[in-house]
């Protein structure tokens, strides 16, 4: 087993990796920015190496510094966490060439799945349902119009090299195609260096359902059930749950089988997620594969009882998965809420600053993942996620009640957070009934915010 792992990340995921390393008897070397020297992971890692100043570009994205630090500190492997370099094929290759194990799939697999159009083509070939659209890269806007005429508007012009919602434009009719095509292509060229485009039918108000996958380097791949991540604001997930509510047994079986087929088609190994959109008629389509451990992996850990990160590290060490598909049982229901340092009243603008006081909940089936402590500083240089609260209970209703109690107990003073907003979401009709899709927050956030404001109004005497 690895003796030392370099952790190329920060915040709650760095804590997750450090704790996992401790359990496994692996020494953790935290590569951090100057900004994070006071942060909790720096206190708990066995060693710290400061690899750059606050800006991520010079620190957490500094590939050469990270690999050099791994080598100089005797680390056999690097854990990239999520975000940052976790899906950067160039970084994975740099590690491979330097003889440092990248904890994740190979650089070849990252490239394959990172190229959205070739991933789509592979799925089409293997019979995994994909969103109706173009077969291959579009040669021109004219070709886009021809295909759109056949599959019907509205359509989405998407960049093959894109991601995170960038390099995408909607065309609602034939007249809009030209502009959508050139704008999306230009954006992708500027951001990713590649303006190649493909086309998909725009599914109206889809649900976002994804399936957790993990495989070892012996060809053994397993799926661990689906998660519903439809509660999103501007393509940013707010909360997640497993299993996805309201699916029939056959829908659930079909989506899980499709995910496994997709992962096998790619020859995938390590932890990953296959993403689907589900339309209003319950039909689902592959959209992309995430070749990393995700923020919401904890939800699946709660329902299956499997430590995904430990498995991921073992797989990277060349071991087989410690379980088979037939060992995987999805028990009960889990929900995760992402607590962010942001102000819902000001369009969820990030609110860095000092956390004067923080208290996280506890109890049976309550799990917290955070790097916060009273007196900690939330930096403006990084994303606003400060804590995850995850609950697990035998039924969805009991999980919902547990999350309400957990969020009531959670206290954060000194900065603004979305804690109240999350709490009210646990009472919002759409979430309570399990009937929501990716348009829910766009439609109802304002109502939830008003509810919050109204609840804090002073009651006049005599009312």
Q: What token pair was written down for 195? A: 């303006």
Smallest gap from residue 387 Cβ to other proteins (A) = 15
363/351 Cα distance (integer angstroms): 29
287/232 Cα distance (integer angstroms): 16
Task: Assess whether 292 carries a catalytic annotation.
Answer: yes
DSSP run (H or E) holding 64: helix 63-72
Nearer to other proteins, 51 or 229 (CB): 51
Angle CA 336–340–344, to nearest 5: 110
Nearer to other proteins, 173 or 354 (CB): 354
Residue of 1, 124, 15, 29 lying closest to 387 (CA atoms): 15
Residue ranges of E strands in 43-154: 47-52, 77-79, 101-102
Smallest gap from residue 111 Cβ to other proteins (A) = 20
Q: What token pair was written down for 275? A: 């993403």
DSSP type of residue 320:
P
Smallest gap from residue 115 Cβ to other proteins (A) = 25
Angle CA 247–251–257, to nearest 5: 130
Residue of 365, 339, 367, 334 lying closest to 245 (CA atoms): 334
Nearer to other proteins, 214 or 372 (CB): 372
Smallest gap from residue 398 Cβ to other proteins (A) = 33
Nearer to other proteins, 94 or 148 (CB): 94
Report the interface residues with other proteins, using CB under 8 A.
33-35, 37-38, 42-44, 46-53, 58-59, 62-65, 67-69, 72-73, 94, 98, 354, 356-357, 373-377
Residue of 414, 392, 394 lying closest to 403 (CA atoms): 392
258/277 Cα distance (integer angstroms): 12
Q: Which of 10, 169, 292, 367 is catalytic?
A: 292
Smallest gap from residue 32 Cβ to other proteins (A) = 9
Nearer to other proteins, 50 or 330 (CB): 50
* Catalytic annotation, residues: 292
């Amino acid at each position: 087993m690895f003796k030392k792992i370099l952790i190329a990340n920060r915040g709650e995921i760095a804590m997750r990796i450090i704790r996992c390393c401790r359990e496994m008897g692996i020494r953790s070397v935290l590569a951090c920015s100057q900004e994070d020297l006071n942060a909790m992971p720096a206190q708990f890692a066995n060693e710290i190496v400061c690899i750059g100043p606050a800006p991520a570009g010079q620190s957490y994205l500094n590939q050469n510094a990270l690999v050099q630090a791994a080598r100089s500190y005797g680390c056999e492997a690097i854990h990239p966490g999520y975000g940052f370099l976790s899906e950067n094929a160039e970084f994975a290759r740099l590690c491979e060439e330097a003889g440092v194990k990248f904890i994740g799939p190979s650089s070849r697999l990252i490239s394959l799945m990172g190229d959205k159009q070739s991933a789509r083509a592979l799925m089409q070939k293997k019979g995994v349902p994909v969103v109706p659209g173009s077969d291959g890269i579009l040669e021109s806007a004219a070709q886009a119009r021809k295909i759109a005429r056949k599959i019907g508007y509205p359509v989405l012009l998407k960049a093959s090299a894109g991601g995170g919602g960038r390099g995408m434009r909607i065309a609602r009719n034939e007249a809009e195609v030209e502009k959508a095509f050139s704008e999306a292509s230009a954006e992708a060229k500027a951001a990713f260096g590649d303006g190649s485009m493909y086309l998909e039918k725009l599914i109206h108000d889809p649900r976002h359902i994804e399936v957790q996958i993990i495989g070892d380097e012996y060809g053994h791949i397993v799926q661990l059930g689906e998660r519903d991540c439809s509660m999103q604001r501007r393509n940013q997930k707010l909360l997640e749950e497993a299993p996805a509510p309201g699916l029939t047994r056959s829908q659930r079986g079909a989506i899980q089988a499709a995910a496994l087929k997709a992962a096998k088609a790619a020859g995938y190994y390590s932890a990953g997620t296959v993403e689907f959109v589900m339309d209003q008629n319950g039909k689902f389509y592959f959209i992309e594969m995430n070749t990393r451990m995700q923020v919401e992996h904890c939800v699946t850990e709660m329902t299956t009882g499997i430590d995904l990160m430990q498995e991921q590290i073992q797989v990277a060490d060349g071991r087989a998965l410690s379980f088979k598909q037939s060992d995987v049982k999805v028990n009960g229901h889990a929900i995760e809420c992402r607590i962010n340092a942001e102000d819902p009243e000001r369009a969820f603008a990030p609110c860095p600053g000092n956390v004067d006081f923080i208290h996280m909940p506890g109890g049976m089936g309550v799990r917290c993942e955070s790097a916060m402590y009273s007196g900690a500083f939330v930096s403006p240089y990084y994303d606003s996620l400060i804590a995850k609260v995850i609950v697990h209970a035998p039924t969805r209703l009991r999980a919902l009640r547990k999350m309400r109690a957990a969020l009531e107990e959670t206290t954060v003073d000194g900065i603004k957070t979305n804690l109240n907003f999350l709490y009210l979401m646990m009472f919002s009709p759409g979430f309570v009934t399990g009937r929501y899709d990716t348009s829910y927050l766009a439609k109802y956030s304002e109502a939830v915010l008003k509810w919050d404001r109204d609840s804090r109004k002073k009651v006049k005497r005599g009312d």
